[in-house]
Amino acid sequence: MPEIFNPEHLNRLESKERKKLFPACKILKWSGLKRKHKMIDFGAGTGFFSFPALKITGGRGSVLAYDIEPLMIKYLTSRAAVIRSAALKNNLLISDKLTDLYQSDENADFFWIGNVLHEVDDPLSVLKTAAGTLKEEGVIAILEWRKVPSERGPELEDRFSEDQLRRMLLESGFGRISFRKWNDTHFIIKAFKTGNSQFILPPAKMNFILKIILKAAEKHLGKNLRANRILAWYPKTLIGSGIMEALVAHDDDEVPKRLLNLLRLYVSYSVSCPFCIDLNAVNFRINGISEDELNALQGKIPISKIKTFSEAENAALEYAACLTATPVRLSDEVVMKMKLEFSERAITVIAGIISQVNFWARLIQGFGIYEAGFSPEPEVLGLSKYGRRKKN
């Protein structure tokens, strides 16, 4: 069982030697704490990190100092009483209740665990609690003893290797993990919350021009394009897919908007991509797609029973079914229907649309991205039924 710090020795936590070893403001800033952040200090102790954090977060930020030891709570309270700035004093919450970590109004930006995770019986549970309190892409930072022999500190078997912590963070829903050796005895590990479904985060930095293009596209759509941002890890794919999206048909004289919309939705449903369904369904009513037709695209009703589909639309949807299936199988009958209804150019446009949505749907699913709120009618679209990962 991990050895727990004796609170009777709390003066050691504020020693000059410790302050020299762990310059709190420098550590917290490197770890990602910023002005206006809402921070949780888990196992705050004497407030060694909580009080410097108040100076960093400022008057519009906040710090929740959490500890279960009554002596520590008493010490924290006495220290808080002498804070001169009323604004900073009001921004410090001291608590011994785990429920206080879950702030219903706004989740935290930053979760700090300084030199205490090795004392916890169930560290994985603590990391999952941290994930539950943080907003998406919120930061968790952990200062811990290195798993190397040292004159003082916890037993070697109670310490974590970098790989152990990395695995636990991944299991708890974090990504973009980075390490830093702080000194001979300690290291810091920092990670970002990936969200409920998405398990890859975009890179922290990306090419300036790509960033401008992405922001312009997001401003136009009014939503965060998560898949595109993730593709910034490999800019060639981002650029290539962007060119494809820009040049593929969105309106065409030979392939009406309604048919393009039907095909996009059909493939989105077939590949079970909630993001694609959400995005491609924004204008389904404007393009004259009824709820019965929508149900047919979902497979609730056989497409053949929907009398409002034209012969050309039926042929194109059957063609889409063949191209979306694995393996692809095109019958002579399907090919003949397409030739009778469409020109060579129109067939090329249709095949391009089907392939393009297949590409995006499978790519986005590969990143674990769900719907983004493009459509105002998620219930009509049945979004909750699509794309959810299976639990082991």
Tell me what the mean pLDDT of segment 357-372 comes to: 90
Q: What percentage of the chain reaches a pLDDT higher than 70?
A: 92
When pLDDT is averaged across residues 246-272 and rounded to a whole number, the result is 93
Q: How many CB atoms lie within 10 A of CB 138?
A: 22
Burial class (CB in 10 A: 0-12, 13-18, 19+), 113: buried
- Asked if 7-193 and 248-385 have one fold, the answer is no
Confidence of residue 376 (pLDDT cuts 50, 70, 90): confident
**b/e burial code for range 252-269 (CB count within 10 A of at least 16 → b):** eeebbebbbbbbbbbbbb
In angstroms, the Cα distances linking 8 to 45, 47, 77 are 11, 15, 16
Could you write out the DSSP letters of every residue in 233-281? Answer: GSHHHHHHHHHHHHHS-SS-SSS-HHHHHHHHHHHHHHTT-HHHHHHHT
**What are the extents of the domains in the chain?**
7-193, 248-385
Task: Determine the Cα–Cα distance for residues 276 and 143; give it in Å rounded to an integer.
Answer: 40
In this prediction, residue 35 carries a pLDDT of 94
Q: CA 319 to CA 371: how far, in whole Å?
A: 26
Handedness of CA 299, 302, 304, 307 (dihedral sign): negative
The predicted model gives 237-242 an average pLDDT of: 92
144 strand-pairing partners: 187
Q: What is the pLDDT of residue 92?
A: 87
The fourth-level CATH superfamily of domain 7-193 is: Vaccinia Virus protein VP39 (3.40.50.150)
Which amino acid would we find at residue 276?
C
DSSP for 7-70 reads GGGGGGGG-HHHHHH--HHHHHHHHT--TT-EEEEET-TTTTTHHHHHHHH-TT-EEEEE-S-H
The 10 Å CB-count burial string (b at 16+, else e) for 302-311 is ebeebeebee
Segment 16-23 shows an average pLDDT of 88
Topology classification of domain 248-385: AhpD-like (1.20.1290)
The pLDDT value given to residue 128: 92
DSSP string, 92-113: EEEE--GGGGS-SSS-EEEEEE
Residue 379 has pLDDT above 90, yes or no: no
Cα(341)–Cα(368) distance, integer angstroms? 37
Does the N-terminal peptide bond of residue 327 adopt cis geometry, omega within 30 degrees of 0?
A: yes
Confidence of residue 117 (pLDDT cuts 50, 70, 90): very high
pLDDT in tens, 286-310: 999 999 999 999 999 999 999 999 9
CA 374, CA 381: separation in Å to the nearest integer? Answer: 12
